[in-house]
């Protein structure tokens, strides 16, 4: 029973992140998503990249991150979005600044959706 609840929570987070990506693309002129399927794939790839590559990049950029009081993390987040762009067909980001501001919007929207939906569903 526990495994089913965990899988349902994971699927819900994946769906929420896909919706957050779609909203970000709607809001940001430099980001485009061709379809909901592309949003699902982009959210999945972004999740994997954030789980595997992002911690390694943050480790190696730790001195720079400390020097900038954590603001360099925004650059790392933008780079992760650019990596997703290069891997997923139907997901385009026009350049670094679109990725930079898009990653900020995506983080805020994803966080808000998760806070509202997951707090009410009991999945944490």
Q: CA dist 13 to 47, 66, 88, Å?
A: 10, 30, 19
Percent of the chain predicted with pLDDT > 70: 94
Q: pTM higher than 0.95 for the full model?
A: no
Every domain of the chain and the residues it spans: 12-121
Q: Is 25 exposed, middle or buried (0-12, 13-18, 19+ CB in 10 A)?
A: buried
d(CA 108, CA 124): 18
Q: What pLDDT, in 10s, does the model give residues 36-90? A: 999 999 999 999 999 999 999 999 999 999 999 999 999 999 999 999 999 999 9
């Amino acid at each position: 029973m526990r495994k089913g609840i965990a899988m349902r929570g994971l699927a819900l987070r994946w769906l929420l992140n896909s919706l957050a990506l779609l909203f970000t693309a709607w809001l940001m002129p430099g980001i485009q998503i061709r379809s909901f399927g592309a949003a699902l794939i982009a959210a999945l790839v972004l999740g994997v990249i954030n789980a595997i590559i992002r911690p390694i990049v943050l480790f190696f950029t730790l001195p720079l991150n400390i020097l900038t009081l954590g603001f360099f993390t925004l650059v790392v987040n933008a780079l992760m979005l650019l990596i997703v762009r290069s891997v997923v067909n139907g997901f385009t980001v026009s350049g670094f600044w679109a990725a930079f501001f898009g990653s900020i919007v995506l983080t805020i929207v994803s966080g808000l959706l998760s806070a509202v939906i997951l707090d009410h569903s009991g999945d944490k």
